[in-house]
Every structure is written in structure tokens, then in C-alpha cells.
Amino acid sequence: MLRMENYREMRNVIVKDKEFKLLLSDIQIKESIGRIAEKINTDLKGKNPLFLAVLNGSFMFAADLMKSITIPCEICFVKLASYEGMESGGKEKEVFGLSERIDGRTVVIVEDIVDSGRTMHQLLSSLSSRNPAEIRIATFLFKPKALQSDLKLDYVAFEIPNDFVVGYGLDYDGYGRNYGEVYTLVR
């Protein structure tokens, strides 16, 4: 008999006009998040951390991670909004939604994916100006070959190739966030 989890692992998905194949199963994801949560529970015991989940992409990771966090903590959600303007010709990010005071607190950024690291550096700069005791980074996915700067990631669920992925909160043109697995682009 073919079990449902095996069936799900064999299929490809179509998101809009692109085909994607399975990269990470829901079982792999749950196991890795459990591992990260255990480490956070140990590392941050007695620190009452504030988790900052970066929307939109991290919503599934943040929800599943928080289910396994057993230490006293808080969570809030922030969004990064882009605007044009720097001499590099790139986009700068501004943090919206952070109304909590973070001075003297341990802050854990909960991110869906770190690739170039530019967005994370901008977020770290913005948060550092608010005088937290420390900032840690928990990311669901990390693309080490795409990283363009020095960045310390404290908790990484998965290192993946520099491929385009969808699922588990990550999207293609707004679609595909709802999958419980992560899929990589085929064509």
C-alpha cells in the first residue's frame, strides 16, 4: 500500500506557469524545526526573548517554531517595506510593525530565507539602533553560495543550493506559500 506521505514526496507541483519538484518534505521540516527549538530553549533559558517574525514569508516557520519553544517569551510580527533611493540603485528596507520596546532585550529574528544577506544587514542595523541586549537570527532556509557579506546566523533549519524555491511560506509571485513542503524550480 502506498502511504500518503510517500505519495506527496513523489509529486511535482505547478505554481502559476512554473513546475517545481520536492526539495524538503514536511517530515524533514518538522524534525529540523524541533532541533532548532531545542537549541533555542537551551541557549536562551532565563532570557525572556522577543521573537520578531518577518512577514510575509516566515509565517509558517514562526508558527511551527513557536509551538516548540518552552521558555517564557513573546512574539511580534514585522514587515519590511521597500523604497527606491540609494546610490547603489537597490532597494532599502524599512521596518514596520515593531511597537515593542527592545532595549535591553534578547531579540530573535525569525526569517524565512537568507540569501544575499542585504535585507538581514538592513534589519540588524535598524534593530541595533534600539539598543537590544543581543540579536540572534533564526532562519528557515540559508543559501550560503548567494551570501554576499559576513553574517552570523545562529539557528539554520536548512542550507540549500542557490535555487528558486516555493512552499512553507515562500512564494512565486504571491502563490505557493500554502504548501507544507518546500519545492525547487524545475522549469
Instruction: Supply the residues annotated as catalytic.
Output: 115
Report which of 124, 115, 122, 109 is spatially closest to residue 154, judged by C-alpha positions: 109
Report which of 167, 155, 147, 144 is spatially closest to residue 59, judged by C-alpha positions: 167
* Cell 537597490 sits on residue: 90
d(CA 135, CA 3): 42
d(CA 52, CA 99): 11
Residue 22 grid coordinates: 520536492
- CB 18, CB 172: distance < 8 Å: yes
Q: How far is CA 161 from CA 53, 110, 147, in A?
A: 23, 20, 11
Q: Cis peptide before 56, with omega less than 30 degrees from 0?
A: yes
Enumerate the β-bridge partners of residue 184. 21, 165
d(CA 66, CA 75): 8
